[in-house]
Structure 1
Amino acid sequence: MTTHNDVSPSGKSRSMQRRIRVLTGAAMTGAVLFCTGLAAAQTADSAERDEFFWLGQINKATTVINSEEGLLDSSLAPDIARALATVIENGNQPGADRPGTVISFEPLLIEEGGLDVTLIHAGRSSQDMHATYRAAILRDGLLEMAEQLNTTMETMVELAAQHVDTIVPNYTNGVAAQPNSYAHYLLGHAAGFDRDAQRIREAYARMDRSAMGTTVLNGTSWPLNRERMADYLGFDGVVDNAYDASQISSMDQPVETGAIVTSIALHTGNFVEDVMTQYAQSRPWILLEEGGDNTYVSSAMPQKRNPGILNSTRSDASLAITLAMGPVIQTHNITPGMSDPKDVDENAAMVDAGVQVLARLDRVLKALRINPERALEELNSDWTASQEVADILMRDHGLPFREGHHVASEIVSYARAEGITPLNFPYAEAQRIYAETVADSDYPQEFPLSEQEFRGALDPLAIVRNRATSGGPQPAEVERMITQARERLETDKQWIAEKRSHIDGSLDRLDQDFSELLGK
């Protein structure tokens, strides 16, 4: 038997060991838990694109471009390339040190190739180099988060497709409010996550810009080919303003990413808490498939099946928000360009927290077991359909809504006082209450609904089926929204693949040109 603290997420992660060391403060315990779990799923590919990797790529591109464009003596380029290749090869060995700053990377180059290797530093600074690899790493993180978001949304949409005709209570202010199709409810949550997907794409477009060639903040006298450098590193273009490149935009990027993580975590927490609202009932209409860490038995009370996966997901969402607030606080009240919000490990841990939340939510969705009969029983045990009486009185019989609302409210008050449910409410009592409510008005004095109409007005299935507005829960509209959601998910999936293909293709082209320089 497992407990609610067990972690078994899916998906890729970057170097988690270093991230654990940088996470401090109140979130440390939870951060270690999820980081440890993600480290177990780490792959060799996902660990490669760290600071060391990107410094190597930047140096490769500089060597190729500058030697071809006359900024570096072409006769020196092969020896510099060989020294660089050796440093990269050494850093790629298992357990090897992978320095992540210019000032720690460059001594290794000098050791291998002598001072001549520093000729490639023409017109460069740690400022633009670090700004570039930070953007590249966050860019990879956004794609990872987009992929997991797409996977989780697909699970949610397909679950909706299974429950088009499942009618359940929806809650407002923590109280059962109206009947709804469970599919419609899920698609509403999916719409929120779809906006998160939009935010990722929009942020990606702003982040997909290279700072290389801007040096510290005002460019350089060297005529560097910034566009070619950006192309080699898989960027869609360059940061236009040299001051913005490392002083402003590199501080914006983690803040904007944190806002996306926050939104994802909030949407996840809202969904989980809504499930928890009814899960606490003695006979909930949503259960969790038992096994794994979905549920766990209380150590003292054998009847309890604690919702471990719900608790873990909610906790992960809280941790993600905690980490996402870091860049905001660190960016507040500092001068432009300061390093406070730019730490790669902290920002990558924030992204990983967002991925983790989505992976957990995906498991929650797959573990849900909906009981349509119990949901309908829950609806028929209360008066969640009462607004329909007021709507029919106004729509079909001209009674102002507030007067009709008063009639329906009096029916509910009487029913609750007498312990009567909608299924067995006497039609004669509805007639009496109506007549007493409108007695002092000019409205028709006899209850205008036939008994059949009155019963139909209180039928949750009929209410949902007869909705007429676009975007409503009626089956035709739900099917339309499912189709559109699937189309958007497929478009997003293609977008992720295209962006990854562009980066990979650019880096492959750089490696090919660098290999030619080496004479391979």
Structure 2
Amino acid sequence: MGGSIMKHTKTQRAGSGTRIAAILLAGTLGQVTMAGAQESPERDEFFWLAQMNKASLVINSQEGLLDPDLAPGIAEALREVIEAGDAPDGERPRTVISFEPLLIEAGGTEVTLLHAGRSSQDMHATFRAAMLRDKLLELADQLHVTTTTLVDLAERHAGTVVPNYTNGVAAQPNSFGHYLLGHAAGLDRDAQRIREAYARIDRSAMGTTVLNGTSWPLNRQHMADYLGFAGLVENAYDASQISSMDHPVEVASIVTSVALHSGNFVEDVMTQYAQTRPWMLLEEGGDNTYVSSAMPQKRNPGLLNNTRSDASQAIVLAMGPVIQTHNITPGMPDPKGASDNAAMVDAGIGVLSRLDTVLNALVIDEERALEELNSDWTASQEIADRLMRDHGLPFREGHHVASEIVTYARQNGLGPLDFPYAEAQRIYAESVTGTDAPSEMPLTEDEFRRTLDPVAIIQARATSGGPQPDEMTRMIGTARARLDGHAGWIAERRAVVTSALQTLDGDYQTLAKTD
């Protein structure tokens, strides 16, 4: 590509980026490793079943529902099962009915006293919610990284003027940074959706048993606190019959939105590869592009193809919970599979990661972009706008004038830079014949030329949210503030769960009378 090329590369980010790193680091440092309550090799079903058993033991002991003389023996049995599961290649059962036999083997039938006031229904609903909220935070992390890359790139190209397209056709000039901020706004809505979904999923079903509660007075709120949940699923029927089916469907909608936003951007870049002289491409080589096996001139954009394919696959996986939930009675297990739903979220994370790679590989040829703008009539609407704003001509009449100028220009192979002013005067006069408009073109030749200048058009925009420099500065600041807020939210959510599990472990260790 010829001309002045600006390439985006990964750099150390200062300012808001430093604050974000500090927030995330603080959240990471808060995850102190503790025997028995630390994050096990993975926070899977086994991990959460262990935490629920710990919490049941502590709560029932504290509230006089369990003989205190039995607590140390049950705690020891639980410790054995957890340590065995955490060992390399250890057995990590994923259901209540496969976890309990290990407890019985380690401590006898007395350990089943822990099961009072609960069932596999509410326990499974609880660990699924806990695992899904963990996955949402992973998705939120990658969304934050990718959106930050978008905003950084937008700031770098705030003054880069490029063509934008509607209905697949060149439409108007725009700042490339402004265009990127538009895509960042879409991802910010995805971040909002994650936070909103998290709040609905961050509710404990524990203690609701099958669907209508139990005569055993298990302290549900205390259980929720120990497991790091913000509150309870209020209705016992809703807990494992309705809400646990809603959760994966809602998360699927977020993964779908992420994939659609990513695919839209990739396709916009992809269309440039159909041109003989694109203004936007990927840096050649590496995993970005590859040479055709038959045609030496071709540089196929493998990274774009792979990102688009990943987005399609994520949407396919996201359709799973929707289809599985359709036409089944409440509470059926079809859409609840923790591993399937984790794979769906992982697909969304993968799409965002690939999109981040795309953004870091973009090469923008500013001169070629401006050349393309000046080779077509994407600035022609400004003629109608200027005639209306400065000279009182009704917009539709000004639009007709501009349209006739474009028709004549294309018939005669003329571009905006070489269009004769005299022809513009003639076309104007003929177009307004029979109207109340001034009979002579009210724009001077100098005004006419400035009206068709893409750079001047961007500079003169007055719309709130437009690409003019002052608005770009404001919107970039707003976008960074939102990114800071999102990073802080992620760190806070993780800190809540970590602190709750540490409290549970401390109380459990005290009860078990172990070091």
**TM-score past 0.5 threshold:** yes
TM-score by length of 2: 0.91
Shift of residue 213 of structure 1? 0.3
Partner letter of residue 215 of structure 2?
A: S
Cα distance in 1 between the residues matched to 2:379 and 2:131? 51
1 CA distance for matches of 2:264 and 2:407? 31
Which residue identity is paired with 1:389?
I
Partner of 2:419: 425
**1:440 partner letter:** G
Deviations 1:342-390 (A, max 9, x none): 0111100001011111111111111111111111011111100000001
Task: Provide Cα deviations, 1:299-346, integer angstroms capped at 9, x if missing partner.
Answer: 111211111111111111111111111111111111111101101111
Is 1:50 matched up with 2:51?
Answer: no
User: Which aligned pairs between 1:82-481 and structure 2 lie closer than 5 A?
Assistant: 82-481=76-475
8 Å CA contact 1:388, 1:458 repeated in 2: yes
Is contact 2:186–2:261 with CA below 8 Å preserved after alignment? Answer: yes
The runs of 5 or more residues in structure 2 that have no matched partner are: 1-37
SS of equivalent to 1:341: coil
Counterpart of 1:421, as a letter, is: G
Task: Name 2:15's counterpart in structure 1.
Answer: none
Q: RCO higher in 1 or 2 (8 Å CA, sep ≥ 6)?
A: 2
Q: Which amino acid aligns with 2:116?
A: A
Structure 1 position 492 matched with structure 2 position 481: no
Give the aligned residue type for 1:253: H
How much does 1:45 deviate? 6.0
Amino acid at match of 1:484: T
Measured in 1, the distance between the counterparts of 2:287 and 2:512 equals 53
C-alpha contact 2:405 2:427 (8 A) present in aligned 1: yes
Percentage identity across paired residues of the two chains:
74
How far 1:441 moved relative to its partner? 2.1
Mapped partners of 2:475, 2:233: distance in 1:
38
With over 3 angstroms needed to count, the CA separation of the structure-2 counterparts of 1:45 and 1:124, relative to structure 1, is: closer
Quote how far apart the aligned CAs of 1:296 are.
1.1
Identify which of 62, 67, 70 aligns with 2:56: 62
Divergent runs of 4+, >4 A: 44-47
Could you tell me whether the CA contact under 8 Å between 1:279 and 1:285 is conserved in 2?
Answer: no
Separation in structure 2 between the aligned mates of residue 98 and residue 175 of structure 1, nearest angstrom: 56
RMSD, matched Cα: 1.1
The answer (yes or no) to whether the contact 2:253–2:318 under 8 Å persists in 1 is: yes
Point out the more displaced range, 370-379 or 509-518.
Answer: 509-518
Contact 1:439 1:445 in 2 (8 A): yes
Shift of 1:96: 2.0
Rounded to whole Å, the distance in 2 between the matches of 1:442 and 1:426 is 25
**1:483 to 2:477 alignment:** yes
Greater shift, 90-99 or 166-175, is seen at 90-99
TM-score (norm 1): 0.91
SS at match of 1:170: strand
1:46/1:375 Cα in 2 relative to 1: closer, same or farther (>3 Å)? farther
For residues 155-213 of structure 1, the C-alpha deviation after alignment (integer angstroms, 9 at most, x for no partner) is 00000000111000001011110000011100111111111100100000011100000
Conserved 8 A contact 1:174-1:277 = no
Report the AA paired with residue 185 of structure 1. Answer: Y
Whole-Å separation in 2 of the counterparts to 1:46 and 1:229: 20
Paired with 2:356 and 2:436, the residues of 1 have a C-alpha distance of 56
Which amino acid is 2:296 matched to?
P
Distance apart, 1:72 and its partner CA = 1.2
User: Are residues 509 and 45 of structure 1, via their aligned partners in 2, closer, same or farther at CA, if it must alter by over 3 Å?
Assistant: closer
Shift of 1:276: 1.2
- Give 1:370's aligned amino acid: I
Query: 1:292: how far off?
Result: 2.2
Q: Contact (CA 8 Å) 1:164, 1:182: kept in 2 or not?
A: yes
State how far apart, in whole Å, the 2-side matches of 1:236 and 1:292 are: 46
CA shift at 1:280, angstroms? 2.0
Tell me how far 1:47 sits from its aligned partner. 4.8
